[in-house]
Each structure stands twice: as structure tokens, then as C-alpha cells.
Amino acid sequence: MELTGAEITVRCLQEEGVEFAFGYPGGAVLYIYDEIFKQDKVKHVLVRHEQAAVHAADGYARATGRVGVALVTSGPGATNAVTGIATAYMDSIPMVIISGQVPTPAIGLDAFQEVDTVGITRPCVKHNFLVKDIKDLAVTIKKAFHIAATGRPGPVLVDIPKDVTTHKAPFDYPKRITLRSYNPVTKGHPMQIKKAVKLLLSAKRPFVYTGGGVILSEASNQLAKLVKQLGVPCTSTLMGLGGYPETDRLHLGMLGMHGTYEANMAMQHCDVLLAVGARFDDRVIGNPAHFNQEKRQIIHIDIDPSSISKRVKVDVPIVGDVGQVLEELTKQLQASKERGDQHALKTWWTQIELWRSKNCLNYDRSSKIIKPQFVIEKLYEVTKGDAYVTSDVGQHQMWAAQYYKFDKPRRWINSGGLGTMGFGLPAAMGVKMAFPKANVACVTGEASIQMCIQELSTCKQYHLPIKVITLNNRYMGMVRQWQQFFHGNRYSESYMDALPDFVKLAEAYGHVGMRIEKPSDVEGALKEAFKLKDKLVFMDFLTDQTENVFPMVPGGKGLSEMILAEDL
């Protein structure tokens, strides 16, 4: 029996076991929407802006590890989706985006709502396709899911012209697919692993630096085993938080631009560094020349060869799946008779504890104004550290990362690579769709939340009782902080004037709004909000306007050149 392209598209999604497609209709995808209407296996979630569709699919993917799916129309639908796609690309999130396109005979003629979607998205997708022939449709969608989910994951876009959705072909969804040009290596090279074992055992000041790759590869258990076996200190990047339990003593907190003193000092001064699924990003190591001033040997495990020796020269590269390689490493370490230099390790820990005793995340707990850090600490307590926390971008994001202690992977969901304001709320929708019973908090700022605030309407329609935690400092705080430090206190265009009354706004959307102005009300309000299990509560915390994020490694500086709160 022959099916239309629209039928085939929806059938493919069903075959892939897709639970939710986040999208927005339009002319070029009308036939696909018609097929969505006729079935109920794939539930469609109607957002209010295509950027949010992609962020929601992204949040779903980050929380579940499955491929997120978004569906948008041609032209403006596709261009609105680009920010979301780039966000997912920078953080290696598996996603399939289906976009409508003008009919094939109209392509290239500046047709109504025509843009070169494949051209526009090419630099920010793992791969993309334009399906010109109905015969290729099913196999292309199969390829898209395969490419998105394997190797280093990423978003894949499939652009489908309208006429292709009406053409007919027999439907045959391939069970498996192999591509001669795409075969990611998953098993680490045995010789390299052997070298790594030797190096780790010879270390005097070992350190384990872990990134988003640990989460993507579901390698938390393997990582914990290895770190505990060695008894060495470890750290996580912003993307890696939750990959190793933050409440464990061996974990020194996050590193990088706003990392802890102890994590950054250990990173700078270790003699053997094991980098696991991390990419030596500029926000992590600061100035590479400064980083290279200290001699250290680096072992780097990553599924993507191009991440290795890109910014920092590596001594022992291991290309492979992080989980598999860690497992092999641990096995060989256990089998080895040697135990490493325990005396040196003890001295190293003494040094680390000294750094740790600086208590770099301390802040004024007696303040009469709500300190943003305090809100996050209370959020952590009230949710017993077990919430899914999404965030937007700015100071609030850093405070959430610093003060919420993530013990499990996939609980911390933020746009690390692209730094996309507007990500938090739609991402939380995706998480809440996936885990309706879980506590989901979106930590945001009064500037960021306004970038996708229209999604409060989507939350109403689909009964998504998210808790929106707005740290309202009346400033684009992160911008203001840089202006204070590096631009002579000239707060150019960073004051958020004419803010709406968020309580009324939340109510207008059919939700509960709360304004919290005193530190003594913070805990009670949070408890009350989380008790309202079936309500979205928009919490507007009026926080200290001029609080800054510390520690901070200024741009162009080295990791050991942090500014600490006590320095000012």
C-alpha cells in the first residue's frame, strides 16, 4: 500500500517511538498536521513561538536522553527555530527538527515563505537534509534519528517540500541503517588506555575534569567508580554538573569562569589531568597560554576526535565513548598491582583542603535584602536536591549552578555553549512533559524570562505546573556585572525598566503569581509553591540589585587569577 509523504512522516515518528512533537503549524506543513490530527500516538505540543518548540524538544532530550522532536513550517517558522537549533548544537543534544519547505517546483523562485533552510542551518546542525523525492523520505528520517543519537549527538534537520508530503510511495521503515561515511568510534584504543593507566598511577597531583560528555554518554556510574577507586579530586563543567555527585567530598564543585577556588586551583596545579567528555572551552580554562604555564600531562577521553587537541595539546588522546572507556580504564586499574603514590596524594589533598577552606561561595547571610544565592540554597533544601532545574542565562544561571548541588545526571538543564536567554521556560516544559510527577523549577532573571514568556500560555494549555523562580534584580545582572568590573560602572542599557507586574501577568495567563520581598519569606513561599502540585507558580523574588557572581576569572586571565568576593 502506498502512503503520502505526510503519512510517512508521521508513521516514521511513530516507528521511532516519539512521544511528543513540539511544533507550530503553517502552510508548508498542513498535510503533516492533518496526519497528526488523525492519530494519537505522537502527541503534538503546540507552543507559542518556534524557538520554544525547539527548546522544549531540547529540554525533553536533555532530561530523558532520548531524541527530541520539533516540527515547524517553512520560512519564518524555520528561521524562528534557528536559535533553538544552534543552542542544541552547541551542547550536543540529540534532536530531529522537521521543517516544511515550499513545493519543489517553487524552490529557488523566491516563493512565499521560502528560505534556504538547509543553507541557513548548515553551520548549526550535526547534519541536514532536503528531501526532494518521496522515495527517499522514510530512509532520510531514519538516517536523521540515527545521526542525531549516535556518536557525538546533535540536532539533525529534515526539510520536506510541501509537494513531497502529498506524493505517494510504499512505506517501509528500515529497522537499522548503516552509512559508509559515518561510523563513530566507541571503543577506546587499548594501547592508549594502557598509557593512561600508567600515567594515572604515576601522578602526584591527579585531577579529573569532567564535562557534558559524561551526561550524554550516561557514564555517571563508571565515572564514580573510577574516581572513588583512585580517591582523586574531580570537578565538573557547567555542562557536566550532576555527572558526579556534588555532595561527595571528592568533588570540588564546578570549575571555570565562575568555578570554585579549589576546583580552578586544582585544575591549574595538577600534574596529571584526566579530561572526560569535556572540551577545554574558553569559559573553562580561561587564557590557554596561562593554563599552559604549568607543566602537566593530559589524558583526554572524547567521542569526537576534533575536540581533542583543539585548544590544548593533549598527551594521551583516547577517542571513544566515555562510558566504555572509563569502564575499561577502571578494569585495568583494578587489575594492576600498583596503587599510585599514596603519600603524594595525601599531600595533594592537604593542599586542596586548604584551598577549599577559603569557602569561596560564602556570602552575606544576614542581609536584609534577599540574596539570590539564598534563594537557590532554599530551593535546594525545599526540593531536597531532587528537582529538575532549568535555567536561562546570566547571573541567576551561575548561582543556580553554584548553589544547587546536583547529585544526579540530567537534572541540571541549561544552555551552556550558546548561552541562550529564553531557554529556561520552554526547556522546563519539555522536562515536565517527560516527567509529569517530578518537581521542575526554572531559575531565571527578569530579562531572560521575557524572551519566551509567551510560553506561559502553552503551560496553561498542557497543565505544566512548573515553578518559575525569577531572581529579579531589575538589571541584566551579568551584563551589569561586566560593566561594573570592566567598563567603569557605566551601566549602558542594562537596566530593566518598565517591568511588568509579574504576579498579575502570571494570573492573566491563568497561573499563580507570588512576589517575595523579604529574606524571611523565601523559604515559606517556596514551600507553599511546591505544595501547589497542579499549579504553575511564578515566583518573583526581589533580590539584591548589585550582587555579583564570585569567584570570577576575568576574560583573558588564567584560572588562578580569580577575583573573589573577599577581594572587593
Ligand X SMILES: Cc1ncc(C[n+]2csc(CCOP(=O)(O)OP(=O)(O)O)c2C)c(N)n1
Residues with a known catalytic role: 50, 112-113, 162, 478
For position 473 contacting ligand X by CB under 6 A, the verdict is yes
In the complex, the smallest distance separating the C-beta of residue 105 from another protein, rounded to whole angstroms, is: 16
Beta bridge partners of 539: 469, 514
Interface segment toward ligand X; rule CB under 6 A; list 134-142, 153-161, 314-322, 420-428: 420-428
Binding to another protein by CB under 8 A, coded x per residue (else -) over 85-124, reads: ---------------------------------xx--xx-
Beta bridge partners of 391: 443
Angle at 165 between CA 160 and CA 168, to 5 degrees: 130
Characterize 501-533 residue by residue with b for buried, 16 or more Cβ atoms within 10 angstroms of its Cβ, and e for exposed.
Answer: ebbebbeebebbbbbbeebeebbebbeebbeee
In the complex, the smallest distance separating the C-beta of residue 473 from ligand X, rounded to whole angstroms, is: 5
For ligand X, the binding residue among 243, 245, 445, 558 (CB under 6 A) is 445
For position 44 contacting another protein by CB under 8 A, the verdict is no
Read out DSSP for 465-533? --EEEEEE-SB-HHHHHHHHHHSTT--TT-B--S---HHHHHHHTTSEEEEE-SHHHHHHHHHHHHH-T
For another protein, the binding residue among 186, 309, 454, 457 (CB under 8 A) is 309
From residue 3, alpha-carbon distances to 14, 127, 131, 138, 337 in Å are: 14, 26, 16, 11, 63
For position 393 contacting ligand X by CB under 6 A, the verdict is yes
What does 181 bind: another protein, ligand X, none (CB cut-off 5 to 8 Å by kind)?
another protein
For position 306 contacting another protein by CB under 8 A, the verdict is yes
What does 182 bind: another protein, ligand X, none (CB cut-off 5 to 8 Å by kind)?
another protein
The nearer residue to ligand X, 281 or 392, going by C-beta atoms, is 392
**Given strand 388-391, what is the order of strands in its sheet?**
412-413, 388-391, 440-445, 467-472, 537-542, 512-516
Contact 306, 319 (CB under 8 A): no
The nearer residue to ligand X, 356 or 396, going by C-beta atoms, is 396
Cβ atoms within 10 Å of 239's Cβ, excluding its own: 30
In the complex, the smallest distance separating the C-beta of residue 398 from ligand X, rounded to whole angstroms, is: 8
For position 174 contacting another protein by CB under 8 A, the verdict is no
Contact 62, 434 (CB under 8 A): no
Using CA atoms, how far apart are residues 275 and 281, in angstroms rounded to an integer?
Answer: 12
Cβ atoms within 10 Å of 555's Cβ, excluding its own: 13
What does 123 bind: ligand X, another protein, none (CB cut-off 5 to 8 Å by kind)?
another protein
For another protein, the binding residue among 310, 331, 405, 474 (CB under 8 A) is 310
Look at residues 57, 50, 55, 22 and name the one whose alpha carbon lies nearest to residue 36.
22
Contact 403, 365 (CB under 8 A): no
Binding residues among 181-200 for another protein as defined by CB under 8 A: 181-182
For position 431 contacting ligand X by CB under 6 A, the verdict is no
Using CA atoms, how far apart are residues 53 and 22, in angstroms rounded to an integer?
Answer: 5
What does 16 bind: ligand X, another protein, none (CB cut-off 5 to 8 Å by kind)?
none
Contact 371, 517 (CB under 8 A): no
What does 119 bind: ligand X, another protein, none (CB cut-off 5 to 8 Å by kind)?
another protein
Binding residues among 299-338 for ligand X as defined by CB under 6 A: none
What does 304 bind: another protein, ligand X, none (CB cut-off 5 to 8 Å by kind)?
another protein
In the complex, the smallest distance separating the C-beta of residue 475 from ligand X, rounded to whole angstroms, is: 5
In the complex, the smallest distance separating the C-beta of residue 444 from ligand X, rounded to whole angstroms, is: 6
For ligand X, the binding residue among 360, 471, 516, 536 (CB under 6 A) is 471
Residues 6+ apart with CB under 8 A from 199: 272, 297, 299, 315, 316
The nearer residue to another protein, 157 or 263, going by C-beta atoms, is 157
Q: Residue with C-alpha cell 544526579?
A: 408
Beta bridge partners of 300: 275, 317
Cis, peptide link before residue 409, omega less than 30° from 0 = no
For position 479 contacting ligand X by CB under 6 A, the verdict is yes
The nearer residue to ligand X, 222 or 237, going by C-beta atoms, is 237
Interacting residues with ligand X (CB under 6 A): 392-396, 419-422, 445-448, 471, 473, 475-479
**Binding interface with another protein (CB under 8 A):** 118-119, 122-123, 126-127, 130, 147, 179-182, 304-306, 309-310, 313
